[in-house]
């Protein structure tokens, strides 16, 4: 599904195409050997390839021993282990790999955290980093880097109900018929959406908010950087509690 969204966006969305931007990030995480869980910091301007970005919450910065600093940056240019990173970051790298991409930019790893000079340089071009990014992965439900977002979801199921009327009846729908509903919803007229899914007499009564509302009210919503990351990204893949959703300059979609 995500590959389909990407393909349509690549081929048909003129507003999502990369404009001429010369600046690359100074560093990108490169997946050098996925099976062995090996990564390295690559020079951003040397790769010349597509990269993803991660939008997330750090959480407790006191436990951020995984970050890049002056003492480990040289070693990380050689190699470092995927398992040395917290789960949310590992999940984003996993998604990048599943999409067939090799590079991802994550601020905690790609900026030297104890270097004021590096922060000044990279922070000043954060807008270009997210604009150039091929895809931003948004960990909407992860409160910190430990939680991750590739976890078992609350999958939507069906239950059977009898309802006398429909707000938007379709041909063949009869009062008192059996219709499928999402669990946890009420069956009064104010909630029944009456969405026709022919063939067969079925109505969907959904207690799940629309994708855009879920992303707008996610725990990333109160994060200072989120406005820049979301507005400037050409494409964003949102991971919510219930589903994956897509947001680009021309389309909002969900599972």
Together in a domain, 197 and 230: no
Domain region containing 121: 2-151+211-254
Q: Give yes or no for a cis peptide into 24 (omega within 30° of 0).
A: no
pLDDT digits over 53-65, tens only? 999 988 776 567 8
The confidence score (pLDDT) of residue 159 equals 44
Together in a domain, 196 and 70: no
The confidence score (pLDDT) of residue 208 equals 44
Together in a domain, 170 and 189: yes
Together in a domain, 126 and 140: yes
Q: What is the pTM of this model?
A: 0.76
Together in a domain, 182 and 240: no
Together in a domain, 201 and 223: no
Indicate if the pLDDT at residue 209 is higher than 50.
no
Token pair for residue 91? 């999940």
Q: What's the rounded mean pLDDT across residues 74-103? A: 97
Together in a domain, 190 and 235: no
Together in a domain, 86 and 183: no
Given the structure tokens 């081929």, which residue do they identify?
Answer: 11
Q: Residue 13: what are its φ and ψ, rounded to 5°?
A: -100, 100
The confidence score (pLDDT) of residue 196 equals 36
Together in a domain, 43 and 64: yes
Indicate if the pLDDT at residue 236 is higher than 60.
yes
Q: Give the per-residue SS3 of the chain.
A: CHHHHHHHHHHHCHHHCCCCCCCCCCEEEEEEECCCCEEEEEEHHHHCCCEEEEECCCCCHHHCCCCCCCCCHHHHHHCEEHHHCCHHHHHHHHHHHHCCCCEEECHHHHCCCCCHHHHHHHHHCHHHHHHHCCEEEEECCCCCCCCCCCCCCCCCCCEEEECCCCCCCCCCCCCCCEEEECCCCCCCCCCCCCEECCCCCCEECCCCCCHHHHHHCCHHHHCCCHHHHHHHCCEEEEECCCCEEEEECCCEEEC
pLDDT digits over 149-183, tens only? 998 766 554 444 444 444 445 455 555 454 444 44
Together in a domain, 105 and 136: yes
Together in a domain, 114 and 177: no
Indicate if the pLDDT at residue 46 is higher than 50.
yes
Together in a domain, 144 and 96: yes
Q: How many domains does the chain have?
A: 2
The confidence score (pLDDT) of residue 32 equals 97
For residues 41 and 21, the model is more confident at 41
Given the structure tokens 């939680």, which residue do they identify?
Answer: 147
Tell me which of 189, 207, 225 is where a domain ends.
Answer: 207
pLDDT digits over 125-138, tens only? 988 899 999 999 99
- Mean pLDDT in the chain? 78
């Amino acid at each position: 599904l995500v590959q389909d969204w990407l393909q349509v966006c690549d081929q048909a969305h003129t507003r999502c195409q990369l404009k001429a931007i010369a600046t690359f990030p100074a560093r990108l995480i490169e997946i050098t050997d996925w099976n062995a869980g090996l990564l390295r910091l690559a020079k951003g301007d040397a790769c010349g390839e597509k990269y993803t970005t991660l939008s997330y919450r750090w959480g407790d910065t006191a436990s951020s021993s995984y970050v890049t600093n002056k003492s480990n940056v040289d070693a990380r240019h050689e190699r470092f282990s995927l398992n040395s990173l917290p789960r949310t970051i590992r999940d984003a790298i996993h998604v990048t790999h599943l999409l067939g991409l090799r590079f991802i930019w994550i601020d905690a790893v790609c900026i030297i955290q104890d270097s004021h000079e590096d922060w000044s340089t990279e922070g000043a071009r954060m807008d270009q980093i997210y604009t150039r990014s091929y895809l931003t992965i948004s960990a909407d439900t992860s409160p910190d880097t430990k939680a991750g977002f590739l976890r078992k979801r609350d999958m939507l199921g069906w239950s059977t109900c009898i309802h006398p009327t429909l707000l938007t009846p379709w041909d063949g729908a009869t009062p008192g018929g059996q219709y499928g509903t999402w669990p946890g919803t009420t069956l009064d007229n104010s909630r029944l959406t009456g969405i026709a899914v022919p063939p067969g007499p079925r109505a969907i009564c959904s207690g799940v908010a629309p994708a855009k509302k879920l992303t707008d009210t996610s725990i990333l919503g109160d994060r200072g950087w989120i406005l820049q990351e979301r507005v400037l990204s050409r494409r964003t893949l949102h991971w919510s509690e219930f589903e994956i959703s897509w947001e680009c300059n021309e389309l909002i979609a969900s599972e």
